[in-house]
Amino acid sequence: MEQILKYFKDVLTPEQVQRFEALQGLYTEWNARINVISRKDIDNLYERHVLHSLAIARFLGPLQPGTTFLDMGTGGGFPGIPLAIFYPRCRFHLVDRIAKKLRVAETVAKEIGLDNVTFQHGDIGECHERYNYVVSRAVMRLDGLVKLTRKNVAPQSPAVKNQYANGIVCLKGGDTEEESRDVRFPVIEFPLSESFAEPFFETKKLIYVPIK
In angstroms, the CA 68 to CA 37 distance is 26
Give the model's confidence band at 34: pLDDT under 50 very low, under 70 low, under 90 confident, else very high: confident
pLDDT on residue 115:
95
Q: Taking the model in full, what pTM does it have?
A: 0.95
3-state helix, strand, coil in the chain (%, to 5): 45, 20, 40
Average pLDDT over residues 181-205: 93
Our CA dihedral for 34, 90, 83, 208, rounded to 10 degrees, sits at 120
How much is the mean pLDDT over the chain?
93
Answer whether residue 189 shows pLDDT above 80.
Answer: yes
